[in-house]
Each structure stands twice: as C-alpha cells, then as structure tokens.
Chain A
C-alpha cells in the first residue's frame, strides 16, 4: 500500500511539471479504540493487521483511517499539518544520506514536533532517521475514547 502510494505521488509530481528533487512525506492519522463488539480495521489500513499483534497496537482492536496527506519536504523547511485533535504536527527534513554499496539505502533524517497553541507541547522534539518507504508511528494522543496513531513514511523522488 505504502509503496503504491509512493508510486502514485511520484507520478503526480512528475506530471505536474519539472521533477523536483524533494522527498515526499506521507502522513496517515489513525484512530484506534478498544471495543467489545469485535475487531474492525479500516480497509485502507492494509498494513495494520500485521501490526496489531504487537504492542502498543494490541491494546486496541478497532482502527479507522481519519486522514491522509502527502507532503513534499525540502531540507530545512518545516511543514505544518493540522491534526484532528487541534494540535499541529510539524515536520522538517534535516538531511538525506545514502549508504554505499553493496546495499545502498537512502536515509531520511527528520525532525518532528506536536504542539498546541497556548499549551505545553505534546511532543517537543522527535528526531528520527528512517529508510525510504519505512514507516514509523507516533502514538499516545487521546482522542474520542481512543488514541491517535500518526504514521509517517518518506519516499524519494
């Protein structure tokens, strides 16, 4: 799924005009709850059934995709994304490195924060280095009887 989205995003960027050498960040906002009525996972979250066997996903059995966004990231330029709970996710691409052969791997170093105006930051700073197409999650924000998982994935151009 993530790979298909990456291809689609790359294709759309290519058709829009001259190719820009910037990676794309995919953000998915997932609402997770625990229900006695049985497990239910949104059809758009095809990766999640694999993940829900592990902590902390195993705490919940109902998953819904609330929002999704593709955002081009330029190095050093922060991008903000409004979350459903009123907070703002800010992501900055710090740098991109490529490991050498025999297994070249593009690595994205990003800096993120989640805050809310007038309140103490929920997540003041998060620095992660991830390989291309490798998702990672930020969880723990309470929302409507459950929690929010933010899935972030970076794709190259």
Chain B
C-alpha cells in the first residue's frame, strides 16, 4: 500500500460515513482519481466487518446522546431542588461525530483488520499451493497397501516399547508389542467363512507383522 497513513484514515472515515465538509470532499476526490483509494473504500464498504464497525459507532453515538439526555433531565431535576449552582448543566465530554478520534479510531482499527484480511485472502487464493500446504496436519505410518490395520511406529535402537491396544472385533486383542529396532504393523483381518464354519464368536483376527532386519535371514 502506497497511500499515507493519514489518507488511509480519511478513506476509512469516508467509507464509514464519518467525514464531513472539506475532508469528505477531499477524500471523495481522491477516490475518484486514485485506483488504490477506490479499492480500499470499496473493500471497506463491502465488508460485513465494516458494517459491524458502522453499526457499533452508531450505537455508541446513540448511547452517548441518550446519556446526555438522561444527564440533562437529572440535572434539571436537581436544579428544581436547588442542587445545581448557577443554573449551569455540566455535561461529560462528548466526541463530535466526524472527528478522527474516538469512534473513528475504532472504525480505523476495524477497517485495517478487514483490509489486512482481504489482502491475505487474496494473496492466499491467488498463489500456487505448495505440497506442504496440502500435507495433512498429522500422519501415521501405514502398511504398503491400504487395509484395516494398525501400524506401530518403528522403535528406536535404544527404546523399543510399542504399546498397542488393538481389538479385532473383540476376538483378538494385541496388548503390547516390543521389537527392538524393528518396524511392527498389526493387520486386522476378517476370518469370514472360515470363522463361521468353526463357530468362532469373533469373525476376525490379527497379524502382528515384524519387519526383519536387513541382511538377517
């Protein structure tokens, strides 16, 4: 972004309808003549966050006006009872709508966040995804062919305890496997007709597969 910070704030105020007078005219002129300024204002106006910011500032303004009215009424009531000195009602400081402070700052921060998010989304959707982006967040070692199985991690040379709790449909449960320096896989296999013929209560089993060391026969 090449626009100066002050200009960006003005454009944010314009997008939120907070500018008045010369500042508003100047910002509108910039939008008409500068593509980057126009894109920024369009983005802010199209964003639901921008709507939220505008609604928030409107609510704050309404609440402040309501507070002033309540304060005046309270003071008038007090004046009637003789509690107010000199007939002067003192009000809390009020931030004028159109000022760059107060609500405008809130809107500016929100708009900046919206702009940053929009740019990030644009850059992400337009860039080529790398393999790393497509990689799963977690992965496990699996046997060479996708079958129902549990692959236990290859143990290190020093510590090789691999605890497993593999229930093969309740028939065979592998409680623990320890094979130093070897990869272990547990395959779950259906017994199918063979088990049915034998009246086996659990028609499945497991194969505990331990990889042989290279060169060992």
Q: Which residues of A contact B (CB under 8 A)?
A: 1-3, 46-47, 50-51, 54-58, 85, 103, 105, 109, 120-131, 133-143, 149
Contact (Cβ within 8 A) A137 B179 = no
Taking residues whose C-beta sits less than 8 angstroms from the other chain, chain B's interface range is 35 or more
* Residues on B with beta carbons closer than 8 Å to the beta carbon of A141: 210, 212
Contact (Cβ within 8 A) A137 B207 = yes
Contact (Cβ within 8 A) A129 B172 = yes
Q: Which residues of B contact A (CB under 8 A)?
A: 143-145, 147, 149, 160, 170-182, 185, 187, 189-194, 197-202, 205-213, 216-217
* Residues on A with beta carbons closer than 8 Å to the beta carbon of B210: 122-123, 138-141
User: A127's contact among B175, B198, B200, B202, by CB below 8 Å, is which?
Assistant: B175
For the complex, what is the distance from the CA of A141 to the CA of B190, rounded to whole Å? 22
| Known contacts A50-B192, A55-B149, A105-B201; A136 and B178 CB within 8 A of each other | no
Contact (Cβ within 8 A) A55 B173 = no
**Residue on A with the closest CB to B173?**
A129
User: B176's contact among A47, A85, A127, A134, by CB below 8 Å, is which?
Assistant: A127
| Known contacts A128-B172, A128-B174; A120 and B198 CB within 8 A of each other | no
- 8 A-B interface contacts by CB (under 8 A): A50-B193, A57-B207, A58-B145, A124-B178, A130-B173, A139-B210, A140-B212, A143-B217
For the complex, what is the distance from the CA of A52 to the CA of B209, rounded to whole Å? 15
Contact (Cβ within 8 A) A126 B208 = yes
**Residue on B with the closest CB to A51?**
B189
* Residues on A with beta carbons closer than 8 Å to the beta carbon of B209: 56, 139-140
Contact (Cβ within 8 A) A133 B194 = no
* Residues on B with beta carbons closer than 8 Å to the beta carbon of A50: 191-194
Contact (Cβ within 8 A) B173 A120 = no
Contact (Cβ within 8 A) A139 B172 = no
